[in-house]
Structure 1
Amino acid sequence: MNVHVNTVEAFLEALVAELEIPDSRYEQAERSFKSFGAWLHRPESTLRHLDPVVYCQGSFRLGTAIRPHTEAEEYDVDSVCELRLLSKSQCSQADLKRWLGIEVQAYHDAQNMTKPVREGNRCWILDYADGAQFHMDIVAAVPNTEQQRRILEERRLSAYWASTAISITDRRVQNYRVVTNDWPRSNPKGYSTWFASRQAAVFERRRRAIVESLKRQGVTASVEEMPDFKVKTPLQAAIMILKRHRDNMFARDTDVRPISVIITTLAAHAYENQDTISGALFTILDRMDQFIVFDGQKYVIANPTDALENFADKWEKEPKKADAFFAWLRQARADFTAAARAASFREMADALNPRMGYALSTRALDKLTGGSRLLRAATGATAGVGATGAPTFANAARQPNKPQGYA
């Protein structure tokens, strides 16, 4: 890796350092869902006999959460409350959500929380005190292993991830108040395991390196006891950067903004175990659209743990969402190529300011230079990223692949 590549990597590392959420937020989130889980197992709990388990999902579970733009914004901690001894034949979605809501309200009152409990389409929302700067979404769920396995096997699709499949509630569906087997599906445990598999080797190397570094400093540590959130891989870092770029590009048009699960899924598919953020980022930007398929009528971005779920299902009726994704990808390629070709830290920041944000880029710049104008302006010879020069991308989106196993 040449001097300029090291400079690009340093700038991206500084960006990620500014995007990362503090360890205390991960610890706070873990305490919150564990506290609610313990509440459901107290002697007086109305759900204790159904063996409830509460666990985290989403970006906090994947390690791709990013700081809000301002201190006025909140962290969104997504969690699931799965009642492991309840089945869909015993209640409607409305029943399950109402039962959970009773316990959420009781927990809220016992904790003397001042902000009222809110109801979302799929979840109950607990708003913590202003100083906490986060809220927790709690989705009600029941196991769905057997039905999921049967449906997938009948269609000759892989049921590898079915053991962690769940069914969840959604008050927008027509049969919300009817006892039926037809519930919305999800599999956050399976998805997080799949995501981890895409970076397993790099993750393990980084975790061991952190432990060894702590030992050299005289800190007692072990690989087994090292929390996952303390390890940041190039894949996670690249996704964090891309999410902020997406947020700023669609700040005034959030209705068509590419959803995080699409960016995360395509990035994980495209990642090839690079050990650097720059290597991961440019590989992902170059390859991510190769994992979008088109069946002649619609785009398909399959849930890797449920071949019947299409993360791009809204693109068919709302083609502006598809257009927005490909426009974002073209812009991201152009912006990060410009940053890679820049001859100074200042030029890198300038290339990314419009969509990464001036404040973020400036903080990253100051972290690298200590505010020195001389260091901002000098980074070495202008060169590309890699031996053959800066990465270049096709201006037009690639032709999507043919679908593999989709109707």
Structure 2
Amino acid sequence: MLITSDSHTQLEDTLAKMAEAAELDQTRWNRLKSAYEAISKWLSEDSDFFEDAEIEIYPQGSVSIGTTTKPIGKSEFDLDVIIHIQLLSSNYEPQTIFNEVVRRLNENETYQKMSESKSRCVRLNYKGDFHLDVVPGCMVVVYDKNLIDIPDQKQKIWLRSCPRGYQAWFLDIANRVQLTFLEEAFSASKTEIEEYAKKKPLQRAVQLIKMRRNIYFNEQLENAPTSIVLTTLAAHFYEGQSSISETFEGILTQIRNHIETLYPNKPFKLPNPVNPEENLADMWEDKPELYRHFIAFIQQLSIDWRDLKASHDIVDESKLMKGLFGEEPYIKAMEAKANAVNHRRGNGLGILPSGIIVGKESEESLPIKPNTFYGD
């Protein structure tokens, strides 16, 4: 972690660590991967419907683009995986495919106890870990491995989707910045770039927006804008900034201007970038009150962010950070900062002219005495 007296670098470092604290950790990611691979194996071993069907399973949504965030007040993450069944959707009724997936999962005693059928997925509840929404899908055409039809078993229709196409679209935009502000700061301090600093500013900004969304709508989550809407808007309005704070502020400003200039009183459509016929914000047309809640959320977030940027007192800043993005992520970020300081004290610390604290191996740094906490 970077320890620095520069306020902008401090803000960047704290924002990155808070987002990291709220995301799916590597241990849980490994459990998720094992879980969906086991599901794929179980379906593939079916001696009935799926016996001759090739099945591919892969994550979609926030897992696939690196923007996971833990819901407020829960230890479980809400995660999605696609069961890509290599059968043409045109040969089957949507409810047939859905029902066969349900049947096969219920033949497993473990899955049967943890499964819950939804409109477009089967939710498996790994208590204390994650809710895994298993979304079945079939090929649309044999020559396109990304395009799928998802069965909506309640409406009894196929819904066109392209989760891997969306993943590629988002990551292409996120990767437009080659060297992030934090990576540059690490390089300037001549220390190895830590993993948390390698994630792109767009990914971190989306995480922070969703973290704020979860807190703002905590008591009324049914009124909250969906993650796909927030993520798509963020990517649309991203202008390649290299820092998290500039990315966050730029996206927020662009969304607010878009609303106030063009759509102050009526909802706008948000085409799926990989399936333009799909309106990702169609819920606003069905329930206009949700659009009003979205506008209020963006307006309040703009005010709160302005207050944070204007605050320089460490006590006020900590209160604003906790209020915006959550007390737990903030505490974890500060704990990580403290641990980094103590670790480097043990190895010897130095300070660069810029104010960044680095290891003693840096030739340009001045030494900092270790703290024994006993006045020695």
Q: TM-score, normalised by structure 1?
A: 0.71
**How far apart are residue 274 of structure 1 and its match?**
2.1
Whether 1:82 and 2:87 are equivalent positions in the alignment is no
1:190 paired with 2:165, answer: yes
Give 1:237 shift.
0.7
| Correspondence for 2:279 | 310
* Stretch deviating more after TM superposition (79-88 or 328-337): 79-88
> What secondary structure does 2:24 align onto?
coil
Give the drift of 1:122.
Answer: 0.8
Kindly indicate whether residue 94 of structure 2 is the aligned counterpart of residue 123 of structure 1: no
Corresponding residue to 2:174 among 188, 196, 199:
199
In structure 2, what is the Cα distance between the partners aligned to 1:321 and 1:54?
33
Native 8 Å contact 1:169 1:184 kept in 2: yes
**Match runs of 1:354-393 below 5 Å:** 354-368=323-337
- Superposed, 1:218-233 pairs within 5 Å as 231-233=198-200
Q: Within 5 A, what are the aligned runs for 1:106-185?
A: 106=107, 108-109=108-109, 112=110, 115-128=113-126, 130-131=127-128, 133-145=129-141, 164-173=146-155, 176=156, 183-185=158-160
8 Å contact kept, 1:271–1:280: yes
Equivalent in the alignment of 2:371? none
The amino acid across from 1:66 in the alignment is T
Identity of aligned residues (%): 25
Supply the AA of the counterpart residue of 1:238: A
Q: Which is further off, 38-47 or 183-192?
A: 38-47
CA contact (8 A) 1:84 1:143 kept: yes
Deviations 1:228-264 (A, max 9, x none): x995211111111110101111111112111111110
What amino acid maps onto 1:340 in structure 2?
Answer: K
Does the C-alpha gap of structure 1 residues 5 and 232 become closer, same or farther in structure 2, counting only changes over 3 Å?
same
Deviates more, 1:343-352 or 1:189-198: 343-352
**Equivalent pair of 2:120/2:153 in contact (CA under 8 Å):** yes
Q: 2:299 aligns with which of 319, 326, 330?
A: 330
Partner secondary structure for residue 54 of structure 1? strand
Structure having the larger proportion of residues in strand: 2
Paired residue for 1:400?
none
| Partner SS state of residue 48, structure 1 | coil
Q: Name the stretch that deviates more: 42-51 or 274-283.
A: 42-51
1:319 and 2:288 are equivalent in the alignment? yes
Q: Identify if the C-alpha distance between structure 1 residues 368 and 334 changes in structure 2 by more than 3 Å, giving closer, same or farther.
A: farther
- Distance (whole Å) between structure 2 residues aligned to residue 194 and residue 304 of structure 1: 8
Aligned residue for 2:247, secondary structure, equals helix
Once residues 98 and 42 of structure 1 are traced to their aligned partners in structure 2, the CA distance between those partners, rounded to angstroms, is 17
Equivalent pairs counted in the alignment come to: 328
Kept after mapping to 2: 8 A contact 1:339/1:349: no
Q: Could you tell me whether the CA contact under 8 Å between 2:180 and 2:198 is conserved in 1?
A: no
1:200 and 1:360, CA in 2 relative to 1: closer, same or farther beyond 3 A? closer
Equivalent pair of 2:89/2:139 in contact (CA under 8 Å): yes
Match of 1:98 in 2: 99
Q: What is the aligned counterpart of 2:30 among 2, 14, 27?
A: 27
Unaligned runs of 5+ in 2: 342-376
Instruction: Give the unaligned 5+ runs of structure 1.
Output: 150-161, 177-181, 218-225, 373-407
1:259: which partner in 2?
226
1:240-291 deviations in Å (ceiling 9; x for gaps): 1110101111111112111111110011111222222112111111123566
Contact residue 248 and residue 355 of structure 1 kept, 8 A: yes
Judge conservation of contact 1:336–1:352 (CA < 8 Å) in 2.
no
CA distance in 2, matches of 1:77, 1:245: 19
Cα pair distance change 1:192/1:252, threshold 3 Å? same
State the partner residue of 1:381.
Answer: none
Q: Is the counterpart of residue 39 in structure 1 residue 42 in structure 2?
A: yes
Contact 1:45 1:103 in 2 (8 A): no
Give 3-state SS (helix, strand or coil) of 2:236's partner: helix
**In 2, Cα distance between the equivalents of 1:189 and 1:369?**
39
SS of alignment partner, residue 87 of structure 2: coil
Whether the aligned pair in 2 keeps the contact of 1:8 and 1:340 (CA below 8 Å) is no
Instruction: Describe the superposition over 1:278-337 as per-residue Cα deviations: whole angstroms up to 9, x where unpaired.
Output: 12111111123566776x975111111111111111212311111111111111111122
Give the drift of 1:198.
0.5
Paired with 2:273 and 2:329, the residues of 1 have a C-alpha distance of 33
Q: Secondary structure at the match of 1:84?
A: strand
CA contact (8 A) 1:122 1:139 kept: yes
Aligned-residue CA RMSD (Å): 3.4
Rate the CA distance shift 1:136–1:341 in 2: closer, same or farther, 3 A: same
Residue 273 (str. 1) matches residue 240 (str. 2): yes
Describe how 1:46-85 pairs up with structure 2 within 5 A.
46-70=49-73, 72-85=74-87
- Are residues 41 and 279 of structure 1, via their aligned partners in 2, closer, same or farther at CA, if it must alter by over 3 Å? same
Post-superposition offset of 1:17: 2.9
Report the CA distance between 1:52 and its aligned residue. Answer: 1.7
Cα 1:104–1:332 change in 2 (3 A) is same
Deviation for aligned residue 1:2: 9.6
For residues 126-172 of structure 1, give each alpha carbon's deviation from its aligned partner in whole angstroms, at most 9, with x where no partner exists: 223x35x11321112112248xx9xxxxxxxxxxxx76221111133
Equivalent residue of 1:17, what SS? helix
SS at match of 2:96: helix
Offset at residue 365 of structure 1 (A)? 4.1
